[in-house]
Structure 1
Amino acid sequence: MPVDVRSEVVIDRPLGEVAAYAGDPSNAPAWYVNISSVEWQTSPPLQVGSRVAFVAHFLGRRLAYTYEIVELVPDERLVMRTAEGPFPMETSYEWTPQGPERTRMTLRNRGEPSGFATIAAPVLAGAMRRANRKDLARLKMLLEARPG
């Protein structure tokens, strides 16, 4: 059973600022509740082919995984993918302007669980949806609190 979770938020900041901050993997621990660390496997700046290792805690388990950037359209779209582990995942960010000072950010996670994760797919999807909403709310709070 595939998992496909899509969440979005409107942030009262210019598109370029939202995309620059959210699209920088080094900022992920500040706004993702479950991500505890990030390590660049390739040198910055972010580009197609870049690899970034993350350590996260999700549903009581420690997860270590490496994403590869597979698509990057500045100020528009970022897609990263991992193929390792029992739950290969693709995460994408999309940014669309909602006026000169507002940006809609869409966060999408999708993957095809295998093994035991197949049985837990509905639970995983619900937990991911809740976590994504919290993460986007935190991103909104962080960016809107910055001096304009």
Structure 2
Amino acid sequence: MKKALIITDIQSDFLGNMDYIYPLCQKYLDNSAKDYDLVILTHWKHVENENENTLLLKSPNAKVVEKRGYSAFTDEVKQLLADNKIELVHLGGIDSDMAVMATMYNLLDAGYLVQVLEPLLASYATRNWETTTIMKFVLGDENVLNLGSGRVWV
């Protein structure tokens, strides 16, 4: 089964009290990107960052996709998933209760198998516990994975 990793919006203008998530996501990319058939990093463009590259994550073969709404399931992402014959998508990123959850629902509606990487989630509203509770209810406990955790020294 071909699988993709989508990490949403790990960008300097979004971190604030979530600065811990950047090194966790980068470490996961450094160690695990090779395990995916496709890696997508989204960059939410908005009025304040329209002409700036505030995306922090880097991975040699990752596709960077700009988005202008919550969901990462843009037309470009739909095409990338289809072109790469992806069936399973792993999700992580900011903002778990908005962008990641919106992407999860859009992917499910489109027929993809979805798993969430719980340690790679962050929320402005500090609602990760509530968000992952909903994700576990929707996806099943077995599809909210404890991948990407571990101590990161910065």
Indicate the TM-score class for this superposition, using the shorter chain for normalisation.
Answer: 0.3 to 0.5
TM-score normalised to the size of structure 2?
0.31
Q: Which has the higher strand share?
A: 1
Q: Which of these two proteins has the greater Rg computed from alpha carbons?
A: 1
Tell me: higher relative CO, structure 1 or 2? Use CA pairs within 8 A at least 6 residues apart: 1
TM-score normalised to the size of structure 1?
0.32
